[in-house]
Amino acid sequence: MKIIDGKVISAQVKEEVKEKTAKLKAEKGIEVCLAVILVGEDPASQVYVRNKKKACEYVGFKSLSYELPGDTSQEELLELIDKLNKDDSVHGILVQMPVPKQIDEKTVIDAISPEKDVDGFHPMNVGALCIGEPGFVSCTPAGIIQLLKRSDIDINGKECVIVGRSNIVGKPMALLMLRENATVTVAHSRTKDLAEVCRRADILIAAVGKAKMITEDYVKDGAVVIDVGINRNAETNKLCGDVDYDNVAPKCSAITPVPGGVGPMTIAMLMNNCLESALRKAGE
Ligand code: NAP
């Protein structure tokens, strides 16, 4: 059984981004720039934003940080997005979700220019993914593809079951696995006989948000199991995934741990998307 190490693979991705960022600066004088907007003081969001800024620093991006008060109006936020859309020196714009309730998430996502939507949430980018055109892909599913490929796991022709159908993980994951020629099933809360459906999978991807829900009954012998879930274990207060790791790992050919699996890939792919945006703008 192989443990897929997201820390090692995300470090590889970041190292590659760092090298290309330095090259872009040296050869064309372009400094890659990511603008991160946080509205309000949600502690989890503050940690995410801090980690994104740290990653920018590491790979050599300029990062612009906008920390707006919790009572910021939608109009004020849209004005800032508009200003950043028009600023040629900014390559990526990210609004940390969730936003406070006076602001409509969809309006915000739609307002970000698709060329700078490094989160890959804009309908133009989702549509591009759907029809196989270039665009930005949501970072967590894009990171999972990198985890699989860089662990030499063959996707072509494999049965893939994804549990979860959210816009940011489950659905784009299904489209990416389809692009890689897997046979894809998307399961969700209304799926009947979920364990039986999951047991079909050569590659099982859990993106549910329910601690340790996937037990050995859901897993075929020799399957690859990717755990996207980030949950807090009520008893131990430690982070745990959607997969009951100790119970499932002995049956798998490969598995991602939580923490240290999918999680670190998300920020690495965000850096990759932002570099990609700068390269496209530079005509590369
Ligand atoms: P979400 O929007 O809440 O979606 C959860 C999905 O799971 C829904 O499609 C839901 O089905 C399905 N589901 C819920 N209960 C189920 C059940 N009992 N059986 C089968 N399916 C069930 O969550 P998300 O944003 O996709 O995130 C999922 C998990 O991944 C969370 O733990 C989140 O923290 C984590 N996450 C991690 C990263 C990372 O970087 N590692 C990034 C994003 C998310 P319905 O559609 O029928 O309601």
**Are residue 259 and residue 194 in the same domain, yes or no?**
yes
Which of 45, 58, 168 lies closest to 66 in space, CA to CA? 45
User: Other C-beta atoms within 10 Å of 150: how many?
Assistant: 16
Is residue 4 one of the residues assigned to a domain?
no
Q: Are residues 107 and 54 in the same domain?
A: yes
Mean pLDDT by 10 residues, the chain (284 residues): 98 98 98 98 94 97 98 98 98 97 98 98 98 97 98 98 98 98 98 98 98 97 98 89 98 98 97 98 91
Decide if 250 is inside a domain. Answer: yes
Neighbours of 64 (CB within 10 A): 18
Distance in angstroms (rounded) separating the CA atoms of residues 13 and 143: 10
Q: Determine the structural domain holding residue 89 and report its residue range.
A: 28-113
**Contact predicate 201/221, CB 8 Å:** no
161 and 225 in a single domain? The answer is yes
Q: Tell whether 102 and 145 lie within a shared domain.
A: no
Query: What pLDDT was estimated at residue 78?
Result: 98
183: its two tokens: 């046979």
State if residue 281 touches ligand 1 by the CB under 6 angstroms criterion: no
* Residue 13 domain-assigned (yes or no): no
Asked if residue 67 is part of any domain, the answer here is yes
- Ligand 1 atom 19 nearest Cα: 189
Nearest ligand 1 atom to the CA of 163 is 21
Whether residue 108 is contained in a domain is answered as yes
Write down the pLDDT at residue 233: 83
Number of the ligand 1 atom closest to the C-alpha atom of 191: 20
Same-domain pairing of 163 and 258? yes
Contact criterion met (CB below 8 Å) for 159 and 203 = yes
The CATH code of the domain that includes 229 is 3.40.50.720
* C-alpha to C-alpha distance for 88 and 84, rounded to whole angstroms: 8
Give the containing element (helix H, strand E) for 44: helix 43-59
Residue 274 lies in a domain: no
For ligand 1, whether the C-beta of 267 sits within 6 Å is: no
Closest CA to 23 of 59, 77, 49, 58: 59
Q: What is the rounded (10 degree) CA torsion for 42, 48, 50, 54?
A: 180
Residues 79 and 153 reside in one and the same domain: no
Do residues 252 and 145 share a domain? Answer: yes
- Give domain status of residue 125, yes or no: no
Other CB atoms within 10 Å distance of the CB of residue 222: 11
Predicted pLDDT of residue 250: 98
Answer yes or no: do 143 and 180 share one domain: yes
Residues comprising the chain, all counted: 284
51 lines ligand 1 (CB under 6 A): no
Which is nearest to 39 in space by CA: 91, 127, 103, 116?
103
Structure confidence at residue 35 (pLDDT): 98
213 burial level (CB within 10 Å; 0-12, 13-18, 19+):
middle
Considering the domain architecture, whether residues 156 and 259 belong to the same structural domain is answered as yes
In this structure, are 106 and 199 located in the same domain? no
251 and 149 together in one domain:
yes
Pocket test for ligand 1, best of 13, 45, 169, 218 (most atoms within 8 A of CB): 169
229 lines ligand 1 (CB under 6 A): yes
* Total number of domains constituting the chain: 2
Which residues are designated catalytic? 52, 96, 119
206 CA distance to ligand 1 centroid (A)? 8
Domain boundary among 60, 95, 113: 113
pLDDT of residue 237: 87
Closest CA to 160 of 130, 124, 198, 190: 198
Backbone dihedral angles phi then psi of residue 206, each to the nearest 5 degrees:
-105, 120
Q: Does the beta carbon of 169 sit less than 6 angstroms from any atom of ligand 1?
A: yes
Whether 18 is in a domain gets the answer no
Same domain, 190 and 90: no
The enclosing domain of 90 has a CATH number of 3.40.50.10860
pLDDT of residue 234: 81
